[in-house]
Structure 1
Amino acid sequence: MFAGGVWASAQAPSGHADSPMVHDPVIACESGKYYLFSTGQRLFSLVSDDLHEWKSPSSVFKEVPQWAMDSVPGYKGHTWAPDIIFHNGRYHLFYSCSTFGKNTSAMGHASRSTLSTSSDEPWVDTGAVITSHPGDDYNAIDPNVVIDYDGKPWMTFGSFWGGIKMVRLKDDLSSVLDGENPVTLCTRLYTPADERPMPKENSVEAPFIMKHDGYYYLFVSYDYCCRGLKSTYKVVVGRSHNICGPYVGRDGRSMLKGGGSLLISDTPEHVAVGHCAVYDFDGRTVFIAHGYSREKNGESHLVVKDIRWSDDGWPEIDS
């Protein structure tokens, strides 16, 4: 077991305090403060009182978990796509260890009873939740953990390869429930092909599930990130009464056949908004993501927007 230090000093994410440079952001709220976690060396974190001004940049871990470097050749601590959830009295942090273009990957888990930057309590790292290797039809990155309406924990994850997967977790969230195998929630490659042309690659990743009014809503990012102003990311969403799907868009098309309703892509300030998370905070439904700044020549910056719900129960960006 690795007891990771917390809030280690780190090079600050640059950019303005109200638009920091981040990638793959997620947020948790504790005692009126918002804690943001994002991709970075040993994971970056920021703190805000209002979701607007961000401060206290830091790295989560003082050192990289040795198990991750042993498991993923080429991984040197630049840690991707975290997720954060409060469950059974602890904050559970999930993170991705991988290298570009390969599915030799692992998703780790650490927990702590508080997010406060003034506490010296360490993150207790329990190692890998799921790993993937060449030959697997999934890539073990981009975790998102959700507790279903019956109180059962699930992890959805995936990037390219066989698409977006889901597995049931044990109640302590540190490992997969015995006997569980991943099920597919979303793919853009399917057989037989129908009237909708398929992409050359299964360009879908970054799942996030939220509960709302009896439904589960699955948000994913289609197409490509990480190319600055040439990025093509877009967020689509589908919903289901069953956490394991099938998820469908507004038009009824299944996300198992590349479906989903477009939520956001380009804005006047950013191109390719994607890798989102969606939360209910103090009566607001808040959408967060990163987008590539037109003004800053394609730097990846934080995007925060409100979501409104349509009369028929679909999320829409409130402009």
Structure 2
Amino acid sequence: MRFAKIALASGLAALALGGAAIAQQAGTATQATLNSRLTGDLTPTHDPVIIREGDTYHVFSTGHGQRLIETRTSQDLVHWTAGAPLFNAIPDWAKKAVPGTDGMWAPDISFVNGRYRLYYSISTFGSNRSAIGLFTSKTLDPKSRDYGWRDEGLVVASTPADDFNAIDPNFIVDRDGRHWLSLGSFWSGIKLFELDPKTGKPLQPNAKPVSIAQRPAPAGGPAPIEAPFIVDHGGYYWLMVSYDYCCKGVNSTYYTVIGRSKSITGPYLGKDGSALMEGRGTIFLRADLQEQQRFRGPGHAGWLRDKDGKDYVLYHAYDRQKNGAPTLRIAPVRWGADGWPVAEY
């Protein structure tokens, strides 16, 4: 019996040590996530996009007042430093197009024909009297002699007579070399405009946009969908959109879904074949597990395909431990055996 007790005690000790080792490994895995290691100036970041120039990563996000388009830079994707805003005044044409606006929202950044293109939104909350404008610059480095943003003016506008809202732009060049701008928030959903490659503006100014995602509105209620971003990977175009509500701090219900299509104009379908044109798709980013509940409302996703071929998704979420501050979040993306992306966040 004595030997049996010793053996039992040894077994329990080994089991406890094993459990501790597993717990330690789990903790190590949590610590190893990119999101858990982000430091520096992470807030306030709302509607972020990212691009790399040389050895520097640049993040641009929504700005208000005299801080129009917030900026952040990093050398390693981990340590972030806030910079001066890109602009401190809204262009005159934009103030006339959208009276009462006080911000430049949801920028999009790309490098096209030797210049960086920065698309941005002008609007007022809850209205579709909106406009998307364009600035361009040869470089993103404020210390360079070639640095300077040129106002290219209006790209797309919407009014209460339209069934869409001209905010949340995202630019992409398809595999045939055609240029496109997706956009949209609420109303009848996400639209796609073909662009003139030289100007970055609609190829046919009066052309009707293509609808690529929408949420059927419930009786007497809105249909929250916005923030499109299209990625080209593996023979498919992947469309990310945000569902439900942002901008409510820890009460935000935002989450991100994704669908794919062989054609840039759709139809975009989730993993189960459900259509984004029916307000469905596959969940890609969601809030933390209920037992954690720290980062709420993850959405308005952007994408980085780094020079080493690795993919990252970045987005904002509201930090419950910091009074709901909109916070920069970045996660590596792993492409599964089934060909679908998994955000490791």
Q: TM-score, normalised by structure 1?
A: 0.90
1:33 aligns with 2:56: yes
1:260 aligns with 2:285: no
Q: Which amino acid aligns with 1:265?
A: R
Report the equivalent of 2:243: 222
Q: Once the 2 structures are TM-superposed, how far is the Cα of residue 126 of structure 1 from its aligned partner?
A: 1.0
Distance, in Å, in 2 between the alignment partners of 1:198 and 1:235 is 23
Out of 96, 107, 112, the position equivalent to 2:121 is: 96
Report the equivalent of 2:223: 202
Q: Once the 2 structures are TM-superposed, how far is the Cα of residue 21 of structure 1 from its aligned partner?
A: 1.9
Moved more, 67-76 or 220-229: 67-76
Report the equivalent of 1:237: 258
Distance, in Å, in 2 between the alignment partners of 1:172 and 1:51 is 32
Report the equivalent of 1:311: 337
CA 1:236–1:166 in structure 2 vs 1: closer, same or farther (change >3 Å)?
A: same
Moved more, 60-69 or 232-241: 60-69
Q: Which amino acid aligns with 2:118?
A: L
Q: Once the 2 structures are TM-superposed, how far is the Cα of residue 286 of structure 1 from its aligned partner?
A: 0.4
Report the equivalent of 1:247: 268
Distance, in Å, in 1 between the alignment partners of 2:260 and 2:188 is 20
Write out aligned runs for 1:109-148 (5 A): 109-120=134-145, 121-148=147-174
Deviations 1:218-250 (A, max 9, x none): 000000000011100000000000000000000
**Structure ID, larger Rg:** 2
Contact 1:232/1:271 (<8 A) preserved: yes
Q: Once the 2 structures are TM-superposed, how far is the Cα of residue 253 of structure 1 from its aligned partner?
A: 1.0
CA 1:167–1:303 in structure 2 vs 1: closer, same or farther (change >3 Å)?
A: same
Report the equivalent of 2:30: none
Distance, in Å, in 2 between the alignment partners of 1:114 and 1:201 is 40
Contact 1:72/1:104 (<8 A) preserved: yes
Compute the RMSD of aligned alpha carbons: 1.7
Q: Once the 2 structures are TM-superposed, how far is the Cα of residue 18 of structure 1 from its aligned partner?
A: 5.5
Moved more, 302-311 or 172-181: 172-181
Deviations 1:128-151 (A, max 9, x none): 100000020000000000000111
After superposing on structure 2, the runs of 4+ consecutive aligned residues of structure 1 that deviate more than 4 Å are none
Indicate the structure with greater strand content: 1
Q: Which amino acid aligns with 1:116?
A: D
Contact 2:213/2:276 (<8 A) preserved: yes
Partner secondary structure for residue 95 of structure 2: helix
Q: Which amino acid aligns with 2:56?
A: K
1:189 aligns with 2:221: no
Distance, in Å, in 2 between the alignment partners of 1:255 and 1:246 is 8
Distance, in Å, in 2 between the alignment partners of 1:201 and 1:250 is 26
1:288 aligns with 2:309: no
Deviations 1:66-92 (A, max 9, x none): 11111101113x110000011111100
Write out aligned runs for 1:2-81 (5 A): 17=40, 19-41=42-64, 42-76=68-102, 78-81=103-106
Contact 1:238/1:250 (<8 A) preserved: yes
Distance, in Å, in 2 between the alignment partners of 1:56 and 1:102 is 30
Partner secondary structure for residue 153 of structure 2: strand
Distance, in Å, in 2 between the alignment partners of 1:198 and 1:30 is 47
Name structure 2 gaps, 5 residues minimum: 1-37
Q: Once the 2 structures are TM-superposed, how far is the Cα of residue 180 of structure 1 from its aligned partner?
A: 2.6
Out of 164, 168, 172, the position equivalent to 2:194 is: 168
Q: Once the 2 structures are TM-superposed, how far is the Cα of residue 50 of structure 1 from its aligned partner?
A: 1.1
Distance, in Å, in 1 between the alignment partners of 2:262 and 2:314 is 24
Deviations 1:22-59 (A, max 9, x none): 00000110011011100013211111111111114211
Contact 2:61/2:107 (<8 A) preserved: yes
Q: TM-score, normalised by structure 2?
A: 0.83
Q: Which amino acid aligns with 2:51?
A: A
Distance, in Å, in 2 between the alignment partners of 1:255 and 1:128 is 29
Same amino acid, percent of matched pairs:
43
Q: Which amino acid aligns with 2:50?
A: I
Distance, in Å, in 2 between the alignment partners of 1:153 and 1:161 is 24
Q: Which amino acid aligns with 2:198?
A: D
Distance, in Å, in 2 between the alignment partners of 1:230 and 1:218 is 25
Contact 2:41/2:82 (<8 A) preserved: no
